[in-house]
Structure formats: structure tokens, C-alpha cells
Amino acid sequence: MPKTPRTLASICPYCGVGCGLVLETDGEKILRVSGDKNHPSNFGRLCTKGSTSAQALTHPGRMDAAYVRNRRDQDPVRTPIDQAITATAQRLQTILERDGPDALAFYVSGQMSLESQYLINKLAKGFVGTNNIESNSRLCMASAGAGYKLSLGSDAPPGSYQDFDHADLFFVTGANMADCHPILYLRMMDRVKAGARLIVVDPRRTATADKAHLFLQIKPGTDLALFNGLLHLLHRNGKTDPDFIARYTEGWDAMPAFLAAYTPEYVSHITGLAAGDIERAAQWLGEAPNFMTCWTMGLNQSTHGTWNTNAICNLHLATGQICRPGSGPFSPHRSAQRHGRTGDGLYGPRSAGTALAAGGRGAPLCRAALGCAGRPHQHPLGQGHGGSVSEDGRR
């Protein structure tokens, strides 16, 4: 007798937007996927990857059994899943009892489900008692997280998706949101259609760049010079916020002298951009009641990715464009599933306490640090005060 289908709520396993899914299942396989109209990330919208995600689960090329290597010099043997799980648990238990918790290490993936991410961290840190768990997610977000922490004292982005509905200008750099975060891109474009401006910085003319009011086709690797040049112009044009700087930041005194070299002509020489376009970008940023900066792997996966984040945070700290609706430095994640690892005490140096230390939504972030990003001998001039997490990540 056919089983009555039921629905389950879940999250899309692909990009970092974290779209809500509604899965229709008969208890054995997923029959249909649709967007969750009540989910705050996508309100029912899905891109092609999300809407076809169930196809991968029923594809004939998927493994339907485990393979166990009983001895190192033998080939793996096809083994029922339940038997393989039992054998794995026995082997791990033997090592744990013999050599202690730090003899075990876990390497996981951002493509695991949200629930699986949480459970594997509970297994490693809660049951086994080891901090040795890592994920490919860190390769994507390590520089952004480190940059946030250096500038703001916390690795949590100081904004939310709701800010997209209030921004007056989007400064998109190192990100092709149309292809890589399509649902968030659509949300941004809804706001652009309502009158917000869009500036895109990218070495390539992408689908996102095609929609820009101002496209800055920059030379690869010269983003820092552009960011410093924009801050130079904002300061020169009187578009910084001295009251905010005095109350909530440290290190500004050294910035004007540092920025003085980054004239439009000098930045133009480095980046290949027209000086007039650089000045126009700075003018639009200075005029915008609220602006957001959105960036991803184009800036993060760089030899100076942390400095890129510092320089972007400098733009927002110097103008007071942070921790208020429609503003802030916002780096969308590569994979939303990594959030299953970021509960209190999970994910290496990251914990909920770190984010909470920065204050509630809408509150200024501690004493943020304005740092001179871009010269090898200069580092951020101060540090914000983050959560109480020890050096190895344990609370």
C-alpha cells in the first residue's frame, strides 16, 4: 500500500544564501522539492540548483553501500551501511580508549546538511572531547572572519539579509552574485529596481556587472588600493563621521596621513580605473544615506584577503555606515551549512559568545579598530574585544 507523503523543512545544500526548502517524502526518498515561502532567506524563491536538488539524491550513480578496507594492504569490500557504521564506531572507540580524545580528528564538508554539521561537532567536542575538527568551509571564510575580528572584535558579519531591503547603494566587489548567490542577488535587484544604486568592482564583466550603474573593471589584485583611495576621497570630501569615529573606533589618528598617498591619480595608475570613475564611486558612497558592501571569494581567497576585509570595514567605520538598517560590510558565505557548526562552543575559535560580546542588533560594535591596510609593515592599530574563547578554540 503506498505510503502517504509528508513534508519536511530543510535548507538548500548549495551556496551560502541558505534558502529554505520544503521536501515532500514518502519516508524512503524525496519526491519533490519546493521553496519555503515562510523562510526569511528566500520567501519561496529557488534557483535552478535548489529546485533540482532532489535529483542528485535519486541519481543512479550514487553509492548505495559502504566500502570497508579490513586491512591496509587489501582492497575495500562492499559492506552494508549499518555494518560499516558499527565497524567505524568500534575502531574509533578503540583509538579513543587507548590514546585519548586528541588522537582523533574529524574533517567535514560545507556540503553536509545543517543538522549533520551540528551533530558531528557534538560528537567531536561533546562526546569524544576533542577540538580536532575542521572543514573546507574555513578555506572560504577564514580571511573574512579574521578581518572581521581584527577590525570589529568579532567574526560575525554586522548585518543581515533584512539590510538588503533598506540599502540605498550596494558596493559589490569580488563577487558575481548573479551566478553564485542568485536568490540574494534577486533580493538586491528588487531594491535596485526601487531606486538603489549598484556599483560593481570586478576584473571581468559578469552578469552582476551588466546590471551596475557604475562598473569598475579593476586590475586583478589591486582592490586594496581602490578601497584606500575611496576612503581618502570620503575623508577629503567631508563624508566621514567624526562623532562615530571618536565614540566607537580607535586608530583613526594615523589614517589621514596614511591615506594621503592614495589620490585618484595614484589609484588609477595602480588599478587601471579612470580617476573620474573612482571619484564618482566615492561621491555616490558619500551621498548614500545607507550603503552595503558585499564581497565573497574574489577578495577572501587572496594572499591579502584579511587586509581586504579590514579595508572594507574601514570604509564603514569611518562613515558610521554599520549596525543600522541598510548598511554594513557583508560577506555572504560560501555554504550556509557551515552555520550548523557555529553554535556555542563549536567551530574551532568561533562560538556564539563571540558574536554576543559585540552587543545586540543595532548596537555599535565595541571599540572597533581602524587599521592601515595595504603595507606589509603596517597592521591594524588596535583590536576590538571579542568573546571569551581560548587560543585553541575551547571555551
Identify the H or E element spanning 257.
helix 255-259
pLDDT at res. 345: 40
Check: CB of residue 292 under 8 Å from CB of residue 328. yes
pLDDT at res. 303: 83
Sheet with 169-173, edge to edge strand ranges: 214-216, 197-201, 169-173, 291-294, 328-330
Rg from Cα positions in the chain: 23
Tell me the three state secondary structure of residue 35: strand
pLDDT at res. 1: 58
| Residue the block writes with cell 595595504 | 374
Cα–Cα separations (whole angstroms), residue 35 to 12, 41, 372: 9, 10, 44
pLDDT tens readout for residues 114-165: 778 889 999 999 999 999 998 877 777 788 888 899 999 888 788 899 999 9
What is the C-alpha to C-alpha distance for residues 314 and 328, in angstroms, rounded to an integer?
Answer: 11
Global pTM value: 0.80
**Judging by beta carbons within 10 Å of its beta carbon (0-12, 13-18, 19+), is residue 280 exposed, middle or buried?**
middle
Low-confidence ranges of the chain (pLDDT < 50): 335-366, 375-395
pLDDT at res. 2: 63
Check: CB of residue 190 under 8 Å from CB of residue 162. no
pLDDT at res. 373: 60
What is the C-alpha to C-alpha distance for residues 89 and 112, in angstroms, rounded to an integer?
Answer: 20
Tell me the three state secondary structure of residue 68: strand
What is the C-alpha to C-alpha distance for residues 123 and 386, in angstroms, rounded to an integer?
Answer: 26
Cα–Cα separations (whole angstroms), residue 18 to 119, 332, 337: 18, 10, 7
pLDDT tens readout for residues 56-79: 877 788 888 899 988 889 999 999
**Judging by beta carbons within 10 Å of its beta carbon (0-12, 13-18, 19+), is residue 126 exposed, middle or buried?**
exposed
Average pLDDT, the chain: 83
Tell me the three state secondary structure of residue 360: coil
Check: CB of residue 275 under 8 Å from CB of residue 264. yes
pLDDT at res. 300: 87
pLDDT at res. 265: 98
Q: Give the side-chain half-sphere CA count within 13 A for 146.
A: 17
| Residue the block writes with cell 543581515 | 160
| Residue the block writes with cell 591596510 | 373
Check: CB of residue 137 under 8 Å from CB of residue 155. no
pLDDT at res. 61: 80
**What would the 3-class secondary structure string for 263-331 be?**
CHHHHHHHHCCCHHHHHHHHHHHHHCCCEEEECCHHHHCCCCHHHHHHHHHHHHHHHCCCCCCCCEEEC
What is the C-alpha to C-alpha distance for residues 142 and 140, in angstroms, rounded to an integer?
Answer: 6
pLDDT at res. 369: 64
What is the C-alpha to C-alpha distance for residues 315 and 203, in angstroms, rounded to an integer?
Answer: 21
pLDDT at res. 28: 81
Q: In the chain, what are the domains? A: 6-57 (2.20.25.90), 84-135 (no CATH), 138-369 (3.40.228.10)
pLDDT tens readout for residues 214-229: 999 999 999 999 999 9
What is the C-alpha to C-alpha distance for residues 36 and 290, in angstroms, rounded to an integer?
Answer: 29
pLDDT at res. 11: 87
What is the C-alpha to C-alpha distance for residues 83 and 237, in angstroms, rounded to an integer?
Answer: 69
